[in-house]
Structure 1
Amino acid sequence: MEILIRSTPAEVAVEAANIFAHYANAGSTLGLATGSTPVAMYKELIARYERGEVSFADSRAFLLDEYIGLERTHEQSYYSTIRREFTSHVDFNDDLVKSPAGDADDPAAAAATYDKAIRDAGGVDIQLLGIGANGHVGFNEPSSSLTSRTHVTTLHPQTVNDNSRFFDTVDEVPRFAVTQGLGTINEARRLLLLATGSNKANAVRDMVEGPLSAHCPASILQLHQHATVIVDESAASQLEDREYYIFADQHRPHRPLFS
């Protein structure tokens, strides 16, 4: 993994936008994620779009996951969230912004259909990821299969509690979701994971320096040929080899963007 440590969340957002903008301008297939962490990067990309520095007109997008039981028009569905926070503010073709059908009558069948749609589109060129305090990526909670495809999953109580800030009460948070599996995620040609804040420090440590384990689903990034992790100093605070990562970042040989 490429570990990039930046001083502040704002610097994380700028670094991530630098990478994402290159892929957008190349008309790539983008994997998008919701949650709090990517919002600053999305705002940076919107500002660059308004300055004429980036275009999404030739890109398509696949969303990482979706709650089960919320209609697409619900303000907390990820279908609505990604449009409210990002894609409606730039020149995406909305028909090409895809997400799992969490309101389908048969969510398991919808999950399989979504997984096939990603493959039929030629796969994802760059997949944006966050990490939960318990090490989950997407909604792949601890104990998730490291080779899983897009599937229906039960949310961990910690995830439900963490996501309750987006709802009026914790009881309103859905308990089930459709998520790209770890196997699906790991097929993207590049992974870009962002983490900020001290509450993510232990998960970042386990992902980067711990064993490959279903206990920390994000550790699947250890197997990827081009995974970039961008964290702020707080999220990096538990990394034992922190000084090495800083040195390696400063002296890294040039690597082709799309390798």
Structure 2
Amino acid sequence: MKIVRAKDYYDMSRKAANIISAQIIMKPDCVLGLATGSTPIGTYEQLVEWYKKGDLDFSSVTTINLDEYRGVTKEDPHSYYYFMREKLFSQVNIDLSRTYIPDGMDDDAQHACRFYEEIISRCGGIDLQLLGLGHNGHIGFNEPGTAFEARTHLVNLTEATRKANQRFFADDENVPRQAYTMGIKSIMQAKKIVVVVSGKDKAEALCAAVQGEITPNVQASVLQLHNDVTIVADQEACSLLEV
């Protein structure tokens, strides 16, 4: 596991984007696993900037997103489909038919999860997976206690996770209670993993993930077992890490 210490959020975003852009340049038809949430936004903005300068070409790239709220349509501004379209897909030359996000409107959970795993397999697996880090150490929507062996599955979101996402919704009642997410086993099969972490409020979670015991109670701790993980974190997020 490699830890890249960044000065601030902007520096973190640029350093993470550097790793992703290198992957695209080295393998133009690569498969990128993408994350949503506030932390990766700066990374996507940097990638868009480099694309507009002519430094990146997304035309052969395939993307597979981590998760999606259940019961939320693609047109809903709260959906991760909408998020990805606004933050990245509509601003680069990516082929939308090669972008995959779980179908939040599929009421058959078994079908939705099995179908998504088939997509990952059909694409040949993920070359580089981008992750954020939850306050409780979760990655994707894999809540504490979820088995490491889980593949794509339906999650009942904890109140802590729903509260963390409440700022994106009008009120608490509108925050979805379930989501489809790639499981830890699916994430760990990515060839390379990049985690972006920003802010003092993530310092405890990062410390537990990097220097604590490997336990399902801190889902990100399993990343210690992967052979190619780079964590890009700003100074505040790194404040509790041993030198």
Q: What is the TM-score when the length of structure 2 is the normalising length?
A: 0.98
Runs of 4+ in structure 1 deviating by more than 6 angstroms, as ranges, are: none
Aligned with 1:153: secondary structure? Answer: strand
Please, what is the CA RMSD of the aligned residues?
A: 0.7
- Deviations along 1:16-66, one digit per CA (max 9) or x if unpaired, are 011101122322100011000000010011000000011111100000000
Q: Which amino acid aligns with 2:105?
A: D
**Equivalent residue number for residue 18 of structure 1:** 18
In 2, the alpha carbon distance for the partners of 1:191 and 1:137 equals 12
Q: How does 1:29-108 map to 2 (within 5 A)?
A: 29-108=31-110
In 2, the alpha carbon distance for the partners of 1:42 and 1:144 equals 29
- Measure how far apart 1:105 and its partner are: 2.4
Q: Which amino acid aligns with 1:56?
A: F
In 1, the alpha carbon distance for the partners of 2:89 and 2:200 equals 29
In 2, the alpha carbon distance for the partners of 1:108 and 1:8 equals 41
In 1, the alpha carbon distance for the partners of 2:180 and 2:143 equals 12
Q: Which amino acid aligns with 1:9?
A: Y
Aligned with 2:233: secondary structure? Answer: strand
- Deviations along 1:185-222, one digit per CA (max 9) or x if unpaired, are 00000000000000100000000000000110011111
Aligned with 1:128: secondary structure? Answer: strand
Aligned with 2:11: secondary structure? Answer: helix
- Deviations along 1:47-102, one digit per CA (max 9) or x if unpaired, are 00000011111100000000001011111111111111111100110111101111
Check conservation: 1:101, 1:111, Cα contact below 8 A.
Answer: no
2:112 is the counterpart of 1:115:
no
Check conservation: 1:129, 1:137, Cα contact below 8 A.
Answer: yes
Q: Which amino acid aligns with 1:64?
A: L
**Equivalent residue number for residue 161 of structure 1:** 163
1:220 to 205, 217, 222: 222
**Equivalent residue number for residue 5 of structure 1:** 5
Aligned length: 241
1:126 to 110, 125, 128: 128
- Measure how far apart 1:147 and its partner are: 1.4
Check conservation: 1:68, 1:107, Cα contact below 8 A.
Answer: no
In 2, the alpha carbon distance for the partners of 1:35 and 1:107 equals 23
In 1, the alpha carbon distance for the partners of 2:142 and 2:102 equals 15
1:149 to 148, 151, 169: 151
Q: What is the TM-score when the length of structure 1 is the normalising length?
A: 0.92
- Measure how far apart 1:109 and its partner are: 1.3
- Percent of aligned pairs sharing the same letter: 37
- Measure how far apart 1:108 and its partner are: 2.5
In 1, the alpha carbon distance for the partners of 2:222 and 2:104 equals 25
